Amino acid sequence: MAISEAPATSFYQASLRQFDTAANLLRLPEELRLILRMPKRELTVNFPVRMDDGRVEMFTGYRVQHNMNCGPAKGGIRYAPDADIDEVRALAMLMTWKCAVVGIPYGGAKGGVRVDRRLLSKGELERLTRRYATEISLIIGPDLDIPAPDVNTDAQIMAWIMDTLSMHYGRNVPGIVTGKPIAIGGSQGRFEATGRGVSIVAREVAKHIGIKFEGATVVVQGFGNVGAITARLLHDMGCRVIALSDIYGAIANPNGIDVALAQKYVKEHGRLAGLPGSTVISNMQLLETPCDILVPAATEGQITFENAERIQAKLIVEGANGPTTPEADLILQRRGITVVPDILANAGGVTVSYFEWIQGRENFFWTERRVNEQLEEMMIESISRVLKKSDELNVPLRMGAYVVAISRVAEATEFRGIYP
């Protein structure tokens, strides 16, 4: 039942390994294992984009739907130079478990385009987005598969996708994406939702394991949508944020960083380095900074076999998807460090995406207060279910969360049976 010590060779293999361990714990029948291990549908698209200088460049994009037995597929789209089918497959699978762990009626999907967004002008970004949306329109739709923002994508990109597909349909189809701007049917609170969820989870689990939350020291890796908002909310909740990072490097201030000021600084300078009062450290030093709560909120594979022995946090809350490799997980477990898994910790985003989808269907829009209250209620319920399951089985929170999630998807799969 233990996870093998050999490093997984890819993100997807690492995700399968987590699944297999939970499936063993659950004694999941072989038939269900076969079905749940595999993505249902994968689409790879190669498409041309006319660049500003008149040249044509070819781009590659993906959309993978892992499982749709609990409802339409849901999952973000990322733009990254190293995006590939393996990564998108792994992320789609994680989305299946994430939706199930918080009990929302969706399956899991993910999309990606291999591109360095920083190298595109706004016009090129728009043309690339509209063409990618058209290419994947074969398999997305408000009742089929609903994309959302992820790494290097945002509300503007969702607006272009929604507008492109509305032009194809000949009518408005706001339900085709979530994370849209509020002016075209987005939800109050969606922009902050993932970070809000991460901060609620950090607070609840810190309480549960006996960390004094007020004044707790916090380190956050990644200062994008998830990282910056988590850092700001934890700061506002009374924690002391002592180190932050972005792709350009990391900064530290043991007396505490004013996160709102850091956000303002990044808006003006494009990076954290140089924030007055802070010193520059490396990204590796950041992860190894002694602290109460570490939030990896950048990308996958950051806490590994190599550095897990040197992590000095009491609690790790996975804002990013897949930041801890299975080998690192075992080391952290042995060292008594609590890890709140991605599928629970960052589920706030997809939860408010679900609220956005409901609001769009009803054409009745909630106040920010209602969104935040409902999010908090669902997160707290999900956390306590996972804590209870982990206690009951005497396993780490990741396995508790996987068991809750896989049981739900397995039940739906069994009821539906095999067609024909």
User: Which of 74, 98, 110, 389 does the annotation list as catalytic?
Assistant: 110
Q: In angstroms, how far is CA 237 from the centroid of its own chain? A: 22
The residue (of 23 and 147) whose beta carbon lies closer to ligand NAD is 147
The residue (of 28 and 195) whose beta carbon lies closer to ligand NAD is 195
CA distance readout (Å), 100 to 32, 70, 95, 144, 418: 16, 8, 8, 17, 20
The residue (of 235 and 410) whose beta carbon lies closer to ligand NAD is 235
Contacts 24+ apart (CB under 8 A), 150-153: 150/75, 150/76, 150/77, 150/78, 150/91, 150/110, 151/76, 151/78, 151/79, 151/80, 151/224, 151/299, 152/78, 152/79, 152/80, 152/117, 153/76, 153/77, 153/78, 153/79
Is 389 annotated as catalytic? no
In angstroms, what is the minimal distance from the CB of 372 to ligand NAD?
Answer: 15
Tell me the residue number closest to ligand NAD, measured at CB: 224
The residue (of 23 and 189) whose beta carbon lies closer to ligand NAD is 189
In angstroms, what is the minimal distance from the CB of 26 to ligand NAD?
Answer: 25
In angstroms, what is the minimal distance from the CB of 307 to ligand NAD?
Answer: 13
**Cα–Cα distance, 158 to 129 (Å, whole number):** 9
The residue (of 235 and 413) whose beta carbon lies closer to ligand NAD is 235
In angstroms, what is the minimal distance from the CB of 320 to ligand NAD?
Answer: 3
In angstroms, what is the minimal distance from the CB of 229 to ligand NAD?
Answer: 8
Interface positions with ligand NAD (CB under 6 A):
149-152, 194, 221-227, 245-247, 283, 297-299, 319-321, 346, 349
**Cα–Cα distance, 235 to 215 (Å, whole number):** 9
Catalytic center residues: 110
